[in-house]
Structure 1
Amino acid sequence: MSAAPIELPRWADYVLVPALAVAAAFVIAGLVVLAIGENPLESTAILLRGALATGEGVGFTLYYATNFIFTGLAVAVAFHAGLFNIGGEGQATLGGLGAALVCLQFESLPGWLLVPLGALSAAAFGALWALVPGYLQAKRGSHIVITTIMFNMLASALLVYLLVNVMGRPGSMSPETRTFVPAAHVPFLHEILARFGVVIPTTPLNGSFVLALAAAFGVWLLIWRTRLGYAIRTVGANPSAAVYAGISISRITMIAMMISGGLAGLLAVNEIMGVQDRLLLEFTGGYGFIGIAVALMGRSHPVGIVLASLLFGVLYQGGTELAFDKPAITRDMIVTISGLVILFAGALDGVFRAPLGRFFASRRRGDA
């Protein structure tokens, strides 16, 4: 018999539990930092200062957060349908391929048309790559976790083959395409603001950040304000009730996976069209896997996902500054801190939920 679900007020579930998870992760990380002979308070101050105290730091933080928003939303949509999509890496990889094909084949188009077409192609390729595991789950009973893991590897192998044998830049020793035409570039934020006379530091932050926020708003509308979103949530919450209500579980499974894959594919807009201006290997950088933690911390809600993405953006950018100022705290230490956040926000979620549930239950009994 499964344990009864722990009921918490919405504010506690969406704010207090994640905050406690982050605090616990930083406490444990602080003990590790202390064990290697560094001051954890000073290290935390350097991390936060490097991510938030300068215009350059904020720009890099938001740039990293953009990728996390896309992948976190991708995981969240699948979560709502009761699916665990851990194929964000592969779907983003195919999104990069889709964006590159458009940017390389339609170089004569003006930027106002080429950039949207590249973004649509990225989303479409990511969606189609996610559709196959969705179909296998819906029609053949294959487990979505296994198939999405396999498709991550297939996407990586496919990209290596294409960049080495088909799309690679002639004469280059690196597996990458030729540079896109300037019209295919998503403008940097400092370039956009410079047109209005506003000068900010040069960072990789580009228009994709606005696209990520728009995607978060779109996911909120889809999941909580449309019939399709209601069907997705019903299938995820109670498949038997969904069948009784006449909802096709196989159809919703495939649709949810396509939406999830399309969102993951949009990561390529930020990396391929916004920063790199070419298709190259491993541009996904593990963002697809971090998206799982982002969705867990954000409770699969777009607002929570944006906030969790900012947290991981701070860890990425601030961790770089910290590793520079404190050589004893290597980049691997920052990965460890991120892993602790993931551990407490996901695997050890019940450590905080259970006592909080008892506390609020006793409060309700006292009020009664």
Structure 2
Amino acid sequence: MSKRLRNILTPIIAVLLGIIVGTIIMLASGYDPVAAYASLWNGAFGNVYYIGEVIRQVTPYILAGLAVAFAFRVGLFNIGVEGQFIVGWLASVWVGVSFDLPTIIHLPLAILAAMLAGGIWAFVPGFLKARFRVHEVIVTIMMNYIALHTVNYIINNKLNQGSSKTGVIHDTASLKTPWLEELTTHSSMHWGIIIAIICCFIMWFLLEKTTRGYELRAVGFNQDAAHYAGMNVNNNIILSMVISGFFAGIAGAMEGLGTFGYMAVQGGFTGVGFNGIAVALLGGNTALGVFFAAILFGVLKIGALSMPLDAGVPKELVDIIIAMIVFFVASSYIIRVFLDRFSKKGVK
């Protein structure tokens, strides 16, 4: 069996195993899995409104997944996507609220601010990793908490417009359009999905078609070999973390400029950054894989909202299914061994 085919089958098998385990849990708990999955499907694709909500949910998942996947490809584990996402969200809203400019300037400026905020936040662990060999996992975890509480402080004390939230962004900085809302029967879908797709292409092109991308991937495969080949390992480590932060910051802008149009004090982490880890794992750390994995997670998240009402099944069971999918992806070595043995038997 070719490596490419094995890489395609592994996440598919992981998803199927996760669904099977979820089905067993439903049966053991006395729920009807057929009704549960039917309500999940209807809750995601039952009408135009639900489809719009799925697309809205998929958008930040794609970008968060790209952020995690990009760092993975360079041998780094960016657990700080959540923090970079939060500061990007705030930066985009600040620009959207503070300036009154034409749309052609205002919207790109707000997205650029979010991108830079996420990149700057990711620069810190990247620099510490490159300069002092401080493990990026530890630093990024701590940076998540710093981001959460710093953003809450700024909202409460600097940008508070009542009820512990910022003002609403100007229409010139919004990703929403009235006709798109009417088309999806007033869902929260916005044009951010186009930006997310463009970012998928950018990641693919950068890593696969440019000299810099080759260097970044070489550093991810073997830092010592890359160093002896004359590549600047430290600069590439920093650059990869910054680019990863760019994607995470843009993901935050999708919430600030699209879904909500403002930012409120966060009672805890949003979960988007952490879900990005699961999306990247399931997507095999490739741009195309991340795109399809984000769609799956978006469908599961939105579809699960209908399960308690339509089938009497707690939506937390979908979280269990997602967790099992991630578990099987993380245990992909076992799946690969099974596929190798199956293919060898097929050859005989």
Report the TM-score range of the alignment, normalised by the length of the smaller protein. Answer: over 0.9
The Cα shift of 1:288 comes to 0.4
Note if 1:187 corresponds to 2:172.
no
Q: How far is the alpha carbon of 1:143 from its aligned partner?
A: 0.4
When residues 208 and 244 of structure 1 are mapped into structure 2, their CA distance, relative to the original with a 3 A threshold, is: same
Shift of residue 192, structure 1, vs aligned partner? 4.1
Q: Count matched residues.
A: 347
Alignment check: 8 A CA contact 2:181 2:187 kept = no
1:157-176 pair list within 5 angstroms: 157-169=149-161, 172=162, 174-176=163-165
Is structure 2 residue 187 aligned with structure 1 residue 203?
yes
CA-CA distance at 1:35 after TM superposition = 1.7
Moved more, 266-275 or 254-263: 266-275
Aligned to 2:239: 255
Query: Is the partner of 1:360 in helix, strand or coil?
Result: helix
Tell me, in whole angstroms, the C-alpha distance in 2 between the residues paired with 1:8 and 1:358. 13
Counterpart in the other structure of 2:340:
357
Could you tell me whether the CA contact under 8 Å between 2:93 and 2:253 is conserved in 1?
no
Matched, 1:335 2:319: yes
CA-CA distance at 1:275 after TM superposition: 1.9
Q: Using structure 2 for the length normalisation, give the TM-score.
A: 0.95
- Deviation, 1:360, is 2.9
Hey, what's the Cα distance between the residues in 2 that align with 1:274 and 1:62? 12
Instruction: Indicate the residue corresponding to 1:53 in structure 2.
Output: 46
Distance 1:50 1:351, change over 3 A: same
Q: Deviations over 1:173-228 (max 9, x none)?
A: x221111222121124x62486xxxx442211111000000000110000100111
1:272 to 240, 244, 256: 256
What is the deviation of 1:254? 0.4
Any residues of structure 2 matched to 1:219-258 within 5 Å, and which?
219-258=203-242
Bigger drift between 219-228 and 355-364 goes to 355-364
Q: Distance in 1 between matches of 2:328 and 2:2?
A: 18
Distance across 2 between alignment mates of 1:121 and 1:223 = 24
Q: Deviations over 1:141-174 (max 9, x none)?
A: 11000000000000001011111111111xx2x2
Report if aligned partners of 1:8, 1:356 keep a CA contact under 8 Å in 2.
no
Instruction: Give the alignment's TM-score, normalised by structure 1.
Output: 0.90
Q: Decide which of 83, 92, 98 is 1:105's aligned counterpart.
A: 98
Aligned with 2:281 (options 296, 305, 316): 296
- Counterpart check, 1:87 vs 2:103: no
Q: Which residue of 1 aligns with 2:25?
A: 32
Q: Which of 5, 15, 24 is residue 11 of structure 1 equivalent to?
A: 5
Q: Is the 8 A contact 2:56 2:259 kept in 1?
A: no
How far apart, in 2, do the equivalents of 1:200 and 1:91 lie?
30
Residue 92 of structure 1 contacts residue 284 of structure 1 at CA under 8 Å; is this kept in 2? no
Helix, strand or coil: the match of 2:270? coil
Gaps of 5+ in 2: none
RMSD in angstroms over aligned alpha carbons?
1.7
Equivalent of 1:178 in 159, 163, 167: 167
> Partners in 2 of 1:175 and 1:8 — Cα distance?
55
SS at match of 1:242: helix
User: Which of 116, 129, 141 is 2:121 aligned to?
Assistant: 129
Number of the residue aligned with 1:345? 329
**In terms of mean alpha carbon deviation, does 278-287 or 330-339 score higher?**
278-287
| CA apart distance, 1:351 | 2.3
| Percent identical | 32
1:153 equivalent in structure 2? 145
Give the Cα–Cα distance (whole angstroms) in 2 for the partners of residues 236 and 252 of structure 1: 10
Displacement of 1:8 in angstroms is 4.6
User: 1:9 is matched by which residue type in structure 2?
Assistant: K
SS of match in other structure, 2:39: helix
Partner of 1:83, secondary structure, is coil
Q: Is the 8 A contact 2:216 2:240 kept in 1?
A: yes
Query: Where do 5+ consecutive residues of structure 1 fail to align?
Result: 1-6
* Secondary structure in 2 matching 1:266: helix
Give, as a single letter, the amino acid of the residue that structure 1 aligns with 2:321: I
Deviation string 1:210-257 (CA, Å, 9 cap, x unpaired) is: 000000011000010011110111000111210111111110000000
Shift in Å, 1:18: 0.6
Q: 2:106 aligns with which of 96, 100, 114?
A: 114
The answer to whether the Cα contact below 8 Å between 1:8 and 1:360 also exists between their aligned partners in 2 is: no
Counterpart of 2:339, as a letter, is L
CA contact (8 A) 2:305 2:315 kept: yes
